[in-house]
Structure 1
Amino acid sequence: MSVLEIKPADQCRYDMIALGEIMLRLDPGDGRVRTARNFDVWEGGGEYNVARGLRRCFGLKTSVVTAFADNEVGRLVEDFIMQGGVDVDYIQWRDYDGIGRSVRNGLNFTERGFGIRGAKGVPDRGNTAASQIKQGDIDWEKIFGEDGVRWFHTGGIYAALSDSTPEVVIEAVQVAKKHGSIVSYDLNYRPSLWDSIGGQAKAQEVNREIAKYVDVMIGNEEDFTACLGFEVDGVDENISNIEIDA
């Protein structure tokens, strides 16, 4: 069994940094989105949630790499991030044109699950600032080489956001490994995100390249089959039944 060699804390500014999109989450409480008149709001993002959890639960020094349109919604999400204790130094701000034609911030309407009915999310995240980050926009050498990071986390949701985000993820993990940071990656396969940029074939192409630099890969059977092309013995195409006694 291999052992992860994590850099000493006194040599790094951060214990952990996450790369991903952070959306404003709107919760209708016990009701449905389609009939709601009030929403509770907070921030959320698959990759960012790890940074926030490590900060709030374990007191670790964390930060996030992302981007927002510079308007009141973006500043609201930034305020939520700061309330969670996550550093905001690496957030990039994009000029807002007044209506969101060129760039905007993501919204995620999320209903709670009850009984056999699962939770239901309605993301509104097209053309967001985070999805428009391109290779070369982030100074990864400063982050990993000068500031120092013990652990870097990102995932398949961010990699699937646009044509440019796979290149951003690959660039980030390459520099992270170069400077000795542990890299974790949550496959988190979402067909709806990959469909418009090449589907499952593109997902496998991107994730196989990213996997070369990953120390800790997170996912279930569906994630590994869809994202990496692995085959799981004894299951059908939809993984509708898994033999747990095997």
Structure 2
Amino acid sequence: MKLEMKENCAYSLVSPTSMGLRITPLYQQPVHVSDHFFLQATSAESNVLTVSAALGERVKALTTFVKDSPIAQLIKNDLRKRNIEFEGKEVPQGGPWGYRHQINIADMGYGVRGPRVTNDRAGEVGRTLSVDDFDLERIFDKEGVRILHISGLIAALSPETGKFCLELAKAAGKYGTRISFDLNYRESFWKGRAEELRALFTEIASITDILIGNEEDFQLALGVQGPEAGGENISEKIESFKGMIANVQRAFPRASVFATTLRQVVNANEHVWGAILLASGNVYVAPPKP
């Protein structure tokens, strides 16, 4: 079945997100010995929006900001440079121990020293995102959206953002917007909340049109059986990945497009990447390559 898109829409892609900063040591040095860092305004979801915006599509981030914060202004300026429109409530900081934008500290690794990401997210303003902060009828009906993209990161960020993502998906479906869900499982986000988040992710996936994840995502977030996560000789396991996608399709029949990435880590400097897509009953394979 071909995936038909809503026509006459203001936006090709809209995504909820919690914007923050990513700081990376220069020259692939470890964090603890570095004194020069590259700073970016970023989020997993805005990365997706950036690609579509670069291709000339009109996109929007649904987010929230710390009021009168220079970091919030930096983030807004960066989104504008990427041609990403944004909409969101401005939340008072509430003093020096109040709200802030999260910081992602990324050691890229080198050779046998693996990459390491440290999340510094206490007081993250994005955890307060609520459906009450947005006019969903205006966004999805009057303006119109072709695709709503939801990431498992924002869905798992807090109970509030989980509810927000679910209500967004329901509203999108009501007005004919297609829903894309990238599971993006993160163990640290799920700690102590596995049962709650499994139920949430299953409900969102059940009303999704486009379902994306790797072997770890599908197994740990949705309980769908698949190949061993992070294995070697990934090129020899294509059939097992196809089998996993078939299992996902049976479990979530409303979706019509399924995608998974194939990844094998050689070392911090070299990864083998591929992908599998199931759409309109056809399977497409991008063979793993360095």
TM-score with structure 2 setting the length? 0.76
Structure 1, residues 1-41: CA drift from partner, whole Å, max 9, x if none?
x2111122xx1111111111121111111222112212111
CA distance in 1, matches of 2:149, 2:105: 25
Report the counterpart of residue 215 of structure 2 in structure 1. 221
CA distance in 2, matches of 1:245, 1:94: 47
CA distance in 2, matches of 1:118, 1:146: 48
Report the counterpart of residue 286 of structure 2 in structure 1. none
CA distance in 1, matches of 2:70, 2:39: 14
CA distance in 2, matches of 1:92, 1:110: 28
Report the counterpart of residue 108 of structure 1 in structure 2. 104
**Percentage of identical aligned residues:** 29
Work out whether 1:7 is the aligned partner of 2:3. no
Verify the 8 A CA contact 1:140 1:175 in the aligned structure 2.
Answer: yes
Work out whether 1:16 is the aligned partner of 2:13. yes
Structure 1, residues 76-114: CA drift from partner, whole Å, max 9, x if none?
1111111111012x1221112231x33111111112232
Paired amino acid for 1:14: Y
Query: Superposition pairs for residues 141-160 of structure 1, below 5 Å?
Result: 141-160=137-156
Work out whether 1:64 is the aligned partner of 2:91. no
CA distance in 1, matches of 2:25, 2:88: 28
Q: 2:71 aligns with which of 70, 73, 77?
A: 73
Equivalent position SS for 2:61: strand
Unaligned runs of at least 5 residues, structure 2:
240-290
- What's the C-alpha RMSD, in Å, of the aligned pairs? 1.7
Structure 1, residues 139-165: CA drift from partner, whole Å, max 9, x if none?
211110111111110111001111211
Q: How many residues align?
A: 235
CA distance in 1, matches of 2:98, 2:71: 15
Deviation (angstroms), 1:54 = 0.9
Deviation (angstroms), 1:118 = 3.3
CA distance in 1, matches of 2:174, 2:238: 41
Q: 1:244 aligns with which of 237, 243, 263?
A: 237
CA distance in 2, matches of 1:227, 1:48: 22
Deviation (angstroms), 1:128 = 1.2
CA distance in 2, matches of 1:39, 1:239: 30
Work out whether 1:212 is the aligned partner of 2:190. no
Report the counterpart of residue 261 of structure 2 in structure 1. none
Query: Superposition pairs for residues 182-197 of structure 1, below 5 Å?
Result: 182-196=178-192
Unaligned runs of at least 5 residues, structure 1:
none
Verify the 8 A CA contact 1:29 1:112 in the aligned structure 2.
Answer: no
Structure 1, residues 23-69: CA drift from partner, whole Å, max 9, x if none?
1111111222112212111122111111111112x111111001121
Work out whether 1:95 is the aligned partner of 2:92. yes
CA distance in 2, matches of 1:214, 1:152: 10
- Greater share of strand residues, 1 or 2? 2
Deviation (angstroms), 1:240 = 4.6
TM-score with structure 1 setting the length? 0.89
